[in-house]
Amino acid sequence: MTTFRDRTEPGKLSLAEVLQAFTSGRLPVKFTAYDGSTSGPEDAAVGLRLASPRGTTYLATAPGELGLARAYVAGDIEPLGVHPGDPYDLLRALADKTAIKRPPARVLANVIGSIGLEHLVPIAPPPQEALPRWRRIAEGLRHSRNRDAEAIHHHYDVSNAFYERVLGASMTYTCACYPDGQATLEEAQDNKYRLVFEKLRLKPGDRLLDVGCGWGSMVRYAARRGVRAVGVTLSAEQAAWAQRAIADEGLSALAEVRHGDYRDVRESGFDAVSSIGLTEHIGVANYPAYFAFLQAKMRTGALLLNHCITRPNNRAGATASFFIDRYVFPDGELTGSGRIIAAAQDVGLEVLHEENLRHHYALTLRDWCANLVTHWDEAVAEVGLPTARVWGLYMAGSRLGFESNVVQLHQVLAVKLDDRGGDGGLPMRPWWTP
């Protein structure tokens, strides 16, 4: 059912009619606008409210995902029937039945006449938006050290206190591994580190390098079990938090987290290398150099565990969507697990095992959103409402992406062989508990 109210000028479209001109199929959510018009089912459980003329300008000047993101982050589009910390139900409803279409030229002309030419003049985006790629050249070429550092700062240096509220006690911003459907987020994250630890066959006295180590959770997990662990992160806030946690746990003799580029690690001969959530930031063109560097840091017979988000195939472009690139992961790139495996093989590593944990990431994101909802007021006080909105939208949308196989999460395990193909005496079958 669609109703239109407060139509003051005959022949002009209401904002609800403008929306319908750009969508195909039956609108599954309720839409209301500041001009008093509505569309969609009256009894819809979820919906959207266009709250201000500025939102119309965002939508008109950047049609599609980017304009919607700008209006939503700025507060010019408000969600109905869902919490902004977890708009999953709204996104799922929109994804099921709504598609954006370009209306015929005659209708498009009427749309322009109805909303007014003033709404076709671009305005500044919300300050949470990163510069477009072509303007980021000031921070260096794509995936140069300076530009990588700036991209990491944009995403990870939001606020440690904010991450504590969203991620929980583990301070782990990567996919958990749920042992069963009743496991808590903390149990699942601990189980993930147990899985990585066992896959790498770590034992007391071994040396571990953890690149892109975040807040040092893998480093501390290994150190508690007698492993000498070095982590490295480009985020100054992560490194400071991790070093405090290491000291608080009395692990300073075994564990260290450095603030810097992983390429600055000088030591070699490590018994194992873990890369948990870093490959997404490397850039596909840099995979050969990335895996070659890691291989050079490993002793013969050492194991590498690469854990990262992937595409469901190896044909799709690596570039992220507008929203992800401008609001979440600037310069992030994803590709299929096949290209990752090929890159590891091409530097002489033997791939032993790989598995897809995409359903586990959907559950992880569900639980992160639940944490954000629970701590919404504190999160908003810490980072501001627009940034909190970005995170709720990003995590709920990502959950939907993992559920629908738009993205996956793969762990790839590989070994460094000797000149005769020896692997250091590894067991013939998997030695870890799934």
Q: pLDDT tens across 194-221, in order?
A: 999 999 999 999 999 999 999 999 999 9
Q: Provide the percentage of residues in the chain whose pLDDT is more than 70.
A: 90
The partner residues of 416 in beta bridges, in order of sequence, read 349
Considering the domain architecture, whether residues 116 and 151 belong to the same structural domain is answered as no
**Is 6 among the domain residues?**
no
How many Å is the Cα radius of gyration of the chain?
A: 24
Query: pLDDT tens across 228-277, in order?
Result: 999 999 999 999 999 999 999 999 999 999 999 999 999 999 999 999 99
**Is 115 among the domain residues?**
yes
Considering the domain architecture, whether residues 201 and 312 belong to the same structural domain is answered as yes
User: What is the largest distance, in Å, between two alpha-carbon atoms of the chain?
Assistant: 83
Residue type, 336: G
Considering the domain architecture, whether residues 255 and 385 belong to the same structural domain is answered as yes
**Is 264 among the domain residues?**
yes
Checking if the pLDDT of 22 tops 90, the result is no
Residue 154: pLDDT band (50, 70, 90) is very low
Mean pLDDT over residues 347-370, rounded? Answer: 98
- What's the Cα-to-Cα distance from 170 to each of 67, 193, 226, 327, 360, rounded to whole Å? 35, 10, 19, 25, 16
**Is 426 among the domain residues?**
no
**Is 272 among the domain residues?**
yes
Considering the domain architecture, whether residues 202 and 64 belong to the same structural domain is answered as no
Considering the domain architecture, whether residues 352 and 268 belong to the same structural domain is answered as yes
Considering the domain architecture, whether residues 306 and 219 belong to the same structural domain is answered as yes
**Is 431 among the domain residues?**
no
Domain that holds residue 248: 146-416
Mean pLDDT over residues 303-328, rounded? Answer: 90
**Is 135 among the domain residues?**
no
**Is 271 among the domain residues?**
yes
Based on the structure, what is the number of domains in the chain? 2
- Spatial CA neighbour of 85 closest among 363, 385, 362, 382: 385
Considering the domain architecture, whether residues 73 and 204 belong to the same structural domain is answered as no
Buried residues in 189-226 as b, exposed as e (16+ CB within 10 A): bbbbbbbbbebbbbeeebbbbbbbbbbbbbbbbbbbee
Considering the domain architecture, whether residues 154 and 285 belong to the same structural domain is answered as yes
Considering the domain architecture, whether residues 192 and 114 belong to the same structural domain is answered as no
